[in-house]
Amino acid sequence: MDGTPMRRRMGEMVRTPALAVTLLSLLGAHAMAQEPQPGVDWPQFRGVRASGVADGFGAPVRWNAETGENILWSASIPGLGHSSPILWGDLVCVTTADSGQADKLKVGLYGDIEPVANETAQRWEVRCLDKTTGAERWSAFAQQAVPTIPRHPKSTHANSTLATDGTHLVAMFGSEGLYGYDLATGRELWRMAGGGDIPTPTPVVDDGLIFITNAHGREAPIFAINAGASGDITPADGAVSNDHLVWSRRRDGAYMQTPLVYDGLLYNCRDNGVLSVYESRTGRRLYQERIGRGGSGYSASPVAADGMVYFSSEDGSIYVVKAGPEFEILAENPMGETLMATPALSEGVLYIRTRGHLVAVSPSAT
């Protein structure tokens, strides 16, 4: 894909809007912003600091959405949305765009990127549920209209993940505008017309390094940049590092997934399911293995807890990989529906957004 509006819509699929996070930081300086509780709150795409990590509560290894094994609850979410769940306190929230029809998604690996034609009006909403029971706490209507920009066949009109500082909730609906809500009540605080062009994947910061990856265009790099870098840090032709670029890999980057840094290792999974793991400080690759049986796409980003890393395939399975320098799959867990959104974690419960449901998975649901 090239730099067209359609590519921008695809790029909004699985990460938090940077503009929303920036606005929250400004709001937090003047209002009652709160500090998130690690392992409990998941305030934006991939949680606290977008790290994707929530240790300390005994996360699940095995479940089955179709039989109900270890499923705490499952709540239907109408419409389509690739926004990941966020959690704060006892709330879990997602966005959706609902046409009132059975809109199609085209998942998997393919080259045809013609936009969806003849779309009808969508209803954009934010929905917040009780994280323990799945009961709806509040929903907020943003607007109803025919979308300004058509969607990619693998995308939706509610792609960007919400962001909260514990008081405010920011929703980005791309070309349909930016909205601010009261987290406790869902009352609309403000709105701003227009959307934004936001790159994907999301940068990750860990141990003084900024990790950036992409796989669209001439190269597919991974860059590990010193957080104190300044000036022009572009490496010379053929160079893999300099005073500010600690290490790089020019052909190992991921197109959609944001990488994960966990216990000193960088996990980078491409959209074909090929997982590469590196020492985060040196860039030394420890292994490269394929997750699953091939043929499925991987758009959701990994998350980790308690020595396990979770990878979601678009065709509906979540693979649990043992964290560490050697490749080992601990479990394959069927969800029975398409998976595009990145899961969230809170107090040992894994919250999974499927095509039609928000599912809570407990290590031992009762």
Phi first, then psi, for residue 5 (nearest 5°) are: -55, -30
Tokens of 337: 């529906």
Mean pLDDT of 318-336: 97
Mean pLDDT of 239-268: 91
Q: What is the pLDDT of residue 4?
A: 31
Q: Which residue has the higher pLDDT, 245 or 262?
A: 262
Mean pLDDT of 84-97: 94
Q: What is the pLDDT of residue 193?
A: 53
The DSSP annotation for 166-222 comes to SSEEEEE-GGG-EEEEETTT--EEEEE-------SS--EEETTEEEEE--SSS---E
pLDDT digits over 135-155, tens only? 999 999 999 988 887 788 887
Rg (C-alpha) for the chain, rounded Å, is 19
**How far is 285 from 135, CA to CA, in rounded Å?**
44
**How far is 256 from 179, CA to CA, in rounded Å?**
25
Given the structure tokens 């809500």, which residue do they identify? Answer: 181
The yes-or-no verdict on residue 216 having pLDDT over 80 is no
Cβ contact 352:92 at 8 Å:
no
- pTM reported for the whole predicted model: 0.71
Cβ contact 198:19 at 8 Å:
yes
The yes-or-no verdict on residue 26 having pLDDT over 50 is no
Q: What is the pLDDT of residue 199?
A: 42
Q: What count of Cα atoms within 13 Å lies in the side-chain half-sphere of residue 95? A: 34
The yes-or-no verdict on residue 132 having pLDDT over 60 is yes
H-only helix segments in 224-305: none
Reading phi first (left if > 0) and then psi (alpha if -120 to 50, else beta), residue 269 is in beta
Within 10 Å of residue 10's Cβ, how many Cβ atoms?
24
Q: What is the pLDDT of residue 24?
A: 56
Burial 42-76 (b: 16+ CB within 10 A, else e): bbbbbbbebbbbbbeeebbeebebeeeebbbbbbe
Mean pLDDT of 33-58: 90
Model confidence at 236, pLDDT cuts 50, 70, 90, reads confident
Model confidence at 7, pLDDT cuts 50, 70, 90, reads very low
Phi first, then psi, for residue 41 (nearest 5°) are: -90, 145
Dihedral (CA of 215, 220, 224, 227) sign: negative
Mean pLDDT of 308-315: 97
The yes-or-no verdict on residue 2 having pLDDT over 70 is no
H-only helix segments in the chain: 5-11, 18-30
Model confidence at 37, pLDDT cuts 50, 70, 90, reads very high
Share of the chain above pLDDT 90, in %: 52
Q: What is the pLDDT of residue 208?
A: 82
The yes-or-no verdict on residue 344 having pLDDT over 80 is yes
Q: Which residue has the higher pLDDT, 339 or 100?
A: 339
The yes-or-no verdict on residue 23 having pLDDT over 60 is no
Given the structure tokens 């990145």, which residue do they identify? Answer: 342
User: Cα angle at 177 between 171 and 183, to 5 degrees?
Assistant: 25
Q: What is the pLDDT of residue 300?
A: 95
Q: Which residue has the higher pLDDT, 239 or 352?
A: 352
Mean pLDDT of 343-362: 95
Show me where the domains of the chain are located: 5-192
pLDDT digits over 156-212, tens only? 878 888 888 898 888 878 777 778 899 999 998 877 554 333 445 666 778 888 788
Q: What is the pLDDT of residue 226?
A: 83
Given the structure tokens 């934010």, which residue do they identify? Answer: 126
Q: What is the pLDDT of residue 29?
A: 44
Mean pLDDT of 251-259: 88
Model confidence at 15, pLDDT cuts 50, 70, 90, reads very low
